[in-house]
Structure 1
């Protein structure tokens, strides 16, 4: 836990724009496959994320930009800890956190690929705090390239 910094988990190559998908399952499969090809997660990561998402949904209906924070039920599917940021081309329905079937049209997904439960808890707290700040969410919404998103998130999370 020493020298923990959420900004060390951000990588420009894991920031994607205009991902096309029709379901949250498709979003998670595409995100997981991309992270696997880039060496950040093991084979099976997407399935572990889907398993957890079905049990404990992660969508948050924030005012500016609807978000989801999917993460795997087992953390042994992670090779290198990272936060994968995916802006969707069109909103995709995810289930509201704490609900069984209430849907949220999610526009951006922050997929956590993190080793260690303590780290994950701190990251979730930091992200939820950022999501509750409308000014921060406006900045995230206006970012339109991976470098710009990276810079924005580093500023907001530092």
Structure 2
């Protein structure tokens, strides 16, 4: 399971995407999940290939970087008390107010594709997203993901 480290932040306030991405990457680094250059990889990739996604009027971001910067596969989650702006995945000029961030740290490149597909299925499930909006504990979060088929 990619959430076994329980690296979750709930209702976090961040001034901008760089602040929350830094906080999440530092959390992964301090738990030995990623290498020191992971944050730099995340920020560079976000500039070139933004990860903001608007699904059913809810903003998500799925930041990730090269698997060479990862020690072990894990996903770090953050829900934001107030959205921060990310550029759109399909249109870099689109500004998306993101409420939920799923930061992927995948050791094997194929895991990234599988997880992206599973997460997008979750994002399309409006019932699960309503639960995610109210979620403020790791146990609730894991239950929502398991229920949605995301492991």
Q: Distance in 1 between matches of 2:48 and 2:109?
A: 18
Work out whether residues 95 and 103 of structure 1, in 8 Å CA contact, stay in contact via their aligned partners in 2.
Answer: yes
Match of 2:46 in 1: 53
1:56-112 deviations in Å (ceiling 9; x for gaps): 11111122632100001x211111101111111211001111112211110110000
Pick aligned residue for 1:68 from 58, 61, 72: 61
Higher mean C-alpha deviation, range 12-21 or range 75-84: 12-21
Q: Distance in 2 between matches of 1:144 and 1:64?
A: 21
Displacement of 1:30 after TM fit? 0.9
Match of 1:148 in 2: 140
Match of 1:129 in 2: 121
Displacement of 1:12 after TM fit? 5.2
What TM-score do you get using the length of structure 2 for normalisation?
Answer: 0.92
Q: Rate the CA distance shift 1:144–1:65 in 2: closer, same or farther, 3 A.
A: farther
Question: Where has structure 1 moved over 3 Å in runs of 4 or more?
Answer: none
Tell me the SS of whatever aligns to 1:137: helix
What TM-score do you get using the length of structure 1 for normalisation?
Answer: 0.88
Displacement of 1:40 after TM fit? 1.0
Any stretches of 5+ residues in structure 2 without a counterpart? none
CA-based RMSD of the aligned residues comes to 1.4
Higher mean C-alpha deviation, range 10-19 or range 140-149: 10-19
Higher mean C-alpha deviation, range 58-67 or range 40-49: 58-67
Give the length in aligned residue pairs: 150
Pick aligned residue for 2:9 from 16, 29, 51: 16
